[in-house]
Structure formats: structure tokens, C-alpha cells
Amino acid sequence: MKRIEKKLKELSQDNQKAFVGYIVAGDPDLETSLELMHLSVDSGVDILEIGVPFTDPIAEGPTIQQAHDRSLENQTNLQKIVDLVGKFREKDSNTPIILMGYINNFLMYKDLINRSHDLGVDGVLVVDIPGELSLEDYGIDNQDLDVISLVSPTTSKDRVKEIVKNSTGFIYYVTLRGVTGSSNLDGNEIEKNIKHIKSISSIPVMAGFGIKNSNDAKLLSSFSDGIVIGSSIVELIYKNSENKDFHEVSDYISNMKDAIR
Amino acid sequence: MKDNLPDKDGFFGEYGGKFVPETLMYALNELEQTYKTLKDNNDFNAEFHKDLAEFVGRPSPLYFAKRLTEHYSTASIWLKREDLNHTGAHKINNTVGQILLAKYMGKKRIIAETGAGQHGVATATVAARLGLDCHIYMGSEDVRRQSLNVYRMKLLGAKVHEVNSGSATLKDALNEALRDWVTNIEDTYYIIGSVTGPHPYPMIVRDFNAVVGYELIEQSQESFGRMPDSIIACVGGGSNAMGIFYPFIKMDNVELIGVEAAGKGIETGEHAAPLNDGTPGVLHGAKSYLMQDESGQVKGTASISAGLDYPGVGPEHSWLKDIKRAKYVAVSDDEVMKAFHMVNKMEGILPALETAHAFAYLDELMPKMNEDQHIVINVSGRGDKDLNSVVEIEGIKL
């Protein structure tokens, strides 16, 4: 069984919701990213989403954009990120890892991405490949890698059907119209749309974008299989990068995990 | 020769497409459907052409450049005077068309990106005419070097948002406009200013600018009794070039030449010439030639002209390059300044620095031409907006 599927099955058997945590690889540096990956898992993250920095990340709000810029100053690239995953796997062989980024970077490393499952990567989420397209058409065709797709409040029902067909692992439901880190969640709309996805497929659905506090987390986890948190974690990492004391990150993750229990 | 591209998925050969976050797909599909319905609608076209005639002042003249022709003493040089349009550049053709689409779609809020400010002014102008809320994104570096256009946009009632992220130029303004659109997707119409971005924009912007090429067919016939031998246009994103090239794509004997910005020189790496020194990649929703490094990160650009200072280019140009239907060359900042002065002194025309790139290629082209031939330069815009930059570059105190 693939790692993502296995993890989500275990959680659901325990009546637990999944916590997907996002960090940008190489922010503040790759060594610290490794430390932060382990710390996140120890504090309650079930699935790690590793942001691949890009010069022009159009789906990101200022918090994650700036993290991408900081990471790029360290010359972070996909090769170094896959190496990072390899190092993480030396100590953790259970936590699923998804690489999240933009198609232009993935295209430059097609061969590496196709080999990356053997190196410890479980899935890819390419933000700017619309979900009804198949990554295979772009040379990324390793069947062992899960392909996570986004569904948004503006996705038509016809397209949801196509997207679900092309997705494995889980569907990432974008909970608002906007970039990462925005606010104004509409609980009713989110519930309705997630129900719709669930009515046509058994694939798990994670809800993300705009989750800031434990109330948001609790609300969204009540009608999804789990939540994704990015900007808030990235912000706390940045705030504490100077002295590299990340207990605030750890506390935040634990609180969120408690909120969705 | 195929001139019926893009295909149904928005591709010109391998270039183009819709590489965008999921939230935008809805708006792109909505726009595509609307355009499909309206583009052959008589009322829509009548309204568009009435605006072009009465508000923009079309057709723009085809003007014989007598002294330039004598200077090179080979082919006759003709100028397609887009600089005489209302607001001073070809950019108005596209905005007049797209604002009509916005109106038919019932959108109340208009956003746009701008580099040199010409597209921002053209957008603010058409939005003002319809009383629509208008937001323009502009890199802070461009706000500085194009302060006159910033003030014009404000006069027209637009809100100008300064963008400080990344290189603070056109590409970052586009990023920010896309982020605005994702956030305000339902009530907002995004008027992209060049033949770039996700499908259907490269097609729509081309079609609205193609009026330039269609006029040229008639004017060439009237002025010299046949089609031109060569057409020259500057290329940043490539909208003025695409507009004048498009109707000629299937006329194999008409040479199409796009001139990119070589900045400090192609060999220095400090330029904005992806068709001359780039590789295929994906930026702003489309696959096209792109200035990028081996990790797929987009490189910084350098050009004297804000309007050409962009690391990508419209996908149809990438296709025309690969199938060798158009030729893409590049000229340096120094060559551009020389041409800028030449056109002022010899023809009494103040060209935009973008446009001066097209003139700067004459030194290389003209010696190879002969006296029976006719070439046309697309004078894409006028240069009043660039006077601050020129004065600064030449160290002059006014």
C-alpha cells in the first residue's frame, strides 16, 4: 500500500483527521528544513507538504512568496530537495511526503521526479497544472507517485468529475477564492462542495488555504478528512529563524492537532 | 500555413495552454465561451469597429518615410503609425475590445498589469469611459521610470498598485494581477496587455490587434500596389508584432521580423530576449520561450525599455520561430538610442523606446534590400513617456 493511503487509512481507523503541514524547503536553510520536518511530525503533522520554491509563485500570498524568495537565495533546487527527503527518510519511513510547486521547476527535473519515489517522495502537487490534465503528458509518469490535485470553489461539477478521475492520494480542496494565507472562509460553501466531491468519489479530501486558528481547523475538519496548514507555519518559522528556537512552531502544530481530534 | 491556431486547448504547436491554479480555470473557461459567442456577432463587431474609428482614430496611416528611405537608399521604408492612436500606442486596440467583452459579461471591476504604462493608460482610459472600477498593477521600478504614465492613470481614475516583489518590473506586476484575479474572480475582468498569459488571452489580444495587419493589407495595395517584402516590429510580450504579423502569416513571401531587446548585449546575459537566448518553459499560464536557469527559475531581465523588460514572450511567437515563419533578432540599448535620435531628426517622429528597437534593426537589414522593395515598420507607440528615461540615460539636465 502506498504511504499516503496507508497513513490516511490508519487515521480513519482511529477516527482521526489528518494534519497536512506545509513548509518551504530551504527556508531558512536546508539543514534547518530537515530539523523542521522532524519537529513537525513529532508535534502532530501526519503528512508533510514540502514547498518547492519558484521565482513566480502566482498562487501564493506574501508570506509564502517571501519564503520562496529566501529559499532561492540559498540556491535551493529540486535536486537538493529530493536529497533532503532522502535524509529525512534515514529517520522516518512512515510519514508521507508531497512535493508542492510549479510546473516549470518540475519540467526541468522530470527524470529526477520520476525516480523520486524510490528516494522517498510519495506524491506531487503541481499548482499550475489544471487537474483534468494528466502529468503524464508532461513527462511525469511514475505510477508509484500520487498526483494530488486542487479543486476550488469555482470548479464546475463537470470538471470535478474529471479531476477526481486523475487524482490519487487525496484531493486538496481550496477553501477560498484567493492566494495562500488569505482569510474569509465560508463554512457553508466549503461543506457543500466537499460533500459533492465525496458523493462522486471515495478519494479522501483535505481542506486548506486560509486556516489560521484552531476554530478554523476544527470547523473544516468536521466535514473533510483533514486540513492543510501552510502560511501560519511558514510565518512562525520565519519569525524564529534568527535564533532557531522553534518551540512556537511546535506548540502551534500541537494546538492545531488537538483542535481536529 | 496554419493561421487557425490555437487549437481547442489553446496550443500553438507545443506552446501556449492554460497553466494556472485551479481557481482561475472557471474564469478562463467563461471568457473563452463568451469570446467564442461574440467574435462573429455582428453587433459586437460593429461596436468594436465604431469605437476603433471614433474613439481610437483608426485606421492609422501608412506613412512613407522619405528621408529614412533616402538615408539607406535601398528599399522604400513605410511606417504604420500606431503612435497616432488615442493614448499613443497600439495597446488601445486590445483594451477597446476587451472592455467590450467585460461589458457583455457584466463585470464591474477591471484589473490590468503594465510595464511601460501604455497598457495601464489604455486600460484606465476604456474603464473610465464605462465608469468601471479600475486597478493597475505596476512594478515599483517601472513606476519610477514611467512616472508620467502613472499620473495619467491616476487622472483617469484608476488605482495604481505598486509591486515590490521579485524584480519589481512587468513580470511581477503580472504575478500580482493574477493573484488579485484569483481573489476577486467572480466580479473582476482581467485585461491582459499582451499576447501572453493563459489561453484564451494570446488569441484574444492577437485578434483585437490584428486590425493593424488587416489595414496594412489594404494600405499596401493602395500605396505601392502589392504586399510588403518585410514587416518589422519590436517584441516584448509581442502584441504589436502579433497584430501586424497575423494576417500575413499565410503570405509566405512577406518576411516577418521581430526585434527583441538585447539590453547590454546578448552575450552579457543582461537582456530581455527569450526568443534569441531562452529555452521553452512555463510562465504566467503559458508555455513559451523563457529566460530561465537550469533549475527552471525565471531570470532577471535588462532593457532600456520598460515595455520590453519581460523574460517571456507570447506563445504564438515561439511557434512562428520554431516553424521558421518569422525571424527574431535583437538590438542593444546603445543601438536603440542611436535609432531613437535618428527617427526624431529625420522623420520628425518621437518613437517610444520599445518602438525604437524596430528602427534599430534597419542598419542591418537595409544594406541587404534593393530599391524595388518595400518594408513596413510598426511604429507601435510614441515616446513622450520615455523622455524622463532618455534624459536620465544621457545625463542631461532639463
pLDDT, tens digit (0-9, with 9 covering 90-100), for B64-112: 999 999 999 999 999 999 999 999 999 999 999 999 999 999 999 999 9
Contact present, B333 and B304 (Cβ < 8 Å): yes
Per residue, what are the HEC states of chain A?
Answer: CCHHHHHHHHHHHCCCCEEEEEEECCCCCHHHHHHHHHHHHHHCCCEEEEECCCCCCCCCCHHHHHHHHHHHHCCCCHHHHHHHHHHHHCCCCCCCEEEEECHHHHHHCHHHHHHCCCCCCCEEEECCCCCCCCHHHHCCCCCCCEECEEECCCCCHHHHHHHHHHCCCCEEEECCCCCCCCCCCCHHHHHHHHHHHHHHCCCCEEEECCCCCHHHHHHHHHCCCEEEECHHHHHHHHHCCCCCCCHHHHHHHHHHHHHCC
Q: How confident is the prediction for chain A on average, in pLDDT?
A: 95
* Residue A30: band (very low, low, confident or very high) from pLDDT cuts 50, 70, 90: very high
Please report the pLDDT score of residue B2 as a whole number: 55
* B380 has catalytic annotation: yes
Looking at residue B398, its pLDDT comes to 83
What's the complex ipTM? 0.95
| Intrachain domains B12-51+90-205 and B59-88+210-393 with the same fold | yes
- With CB atoms and an 8 Å threshold, state whether B175 touches A58: yes
Segment B173-185, tens digit of pLDDT: 999 999 999 999 9
Low-confidence ranges of chain B (pLDDT < 70): 1-3
Q: Tell me how far apart the alpha carbons of residues B105 and B64 are, in angstroms, rounded to a whole number.
A: 42
Please report the pLDDT score of residue B224 as a whole number: 98
User: Does residue B114 contact residue B86 with C-beta atoms inside 8 Å?
Assistant: no
Q: What is the pLDDT of residues A37-53, one digit of tens each?
A: 999 999 999 999 999 99
Domain that holds residue A216: 3-259
All structural domains of chain B with their residue ranges: 12-51+90-205, 59-88+210-393
Instruction: Look up the CATH number of domain B59-88+210-393.
Output: 3.40.50.1100
Active-site annotation holds for B321: no
* B189 three-state secondary structure: strand
Q: Which of A125, A205, A144 is nearest to A1 (CA)?
A: A144
Give the count of Cβ contacts less than 8 A between chain A and B. 109
Going by pLDDT thresholds of 50, 70 and 90, the confidence category of residue A22 is very high
Q: Residue B3: what pLDDT?
A: 64
Q: Give the best residue of A56, A63, A76, A171 to mutate against chain B (max B CB count within 10 A).
A: A56
- The CATH code of the domain at B12-51+90-205 is 3.40.50.1100
Which residue out of A58, A70, A102, A180 would a mutagenesis test of the B interface target, given it has the greatest number of B Cβ atoms within 10 Å? A58
pLDDT for B145: 81
pTM listed for this prediction: 0.96
* CATH number of the domain residue A80 falls in: 3.20.20.70
Among candidate residues B61, B64, B132, the one with its CA nearest the CA of residue B101: B132
What residue in B sits closest to A54 (Cα-Cα)?
B297
Mapped onto helix, strand or coil, the DSSP state of residue B250 is coil
Are the beta carbons of B186 and A78 separated by less than 8 Å? no
User: Domain total for chain A?
Assistant: 1
